[in-house]
């Protein structure tokens, strides 16, 4: 599982993908998730699980 911690907001992002993601891919996945929420940030202390298809067709 790919994990990204945001200590400023107190949020942990777990990104599930078909392979280990690079840091850039991990940041892109989190950015796409946040854009899909239209500016609503997760609450402090939240753990967010994001499902990605990166690596599916490799």
39 phi/psi in degrees, rounded to 5: 90, -10
* pTM of the predicted model as reported, rounded to 2 decimal places: 0.88
For the chain, give every domain's residue range: 2-51
Which pLDDT score is estimated for 47?
96
CA neighbours within 13 Å on the CB side: how many for 2? Answer: 21
Question: Cα 32–34–36 angle (5° rounding)?
Answer: 70
pLDDT at 36: 94
- Amino acid 38: pLDDT: 87
- Which residues, given as ranges, of the chain have pLDDT below 70? none
């Amino acid at each position: 599982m790919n994990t990204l911690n945001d200590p400023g907001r107190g949020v942990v992002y777990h990104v599930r993908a078909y392979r280990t993601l690079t840091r850039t891919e991990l940041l892109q996945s989190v950015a796409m998730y946040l854009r899909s929420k239209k500016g609503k940030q997760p609450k402090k202390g939240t753990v967010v699980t994001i499902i990605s298809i990166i690596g599916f067709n490799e």
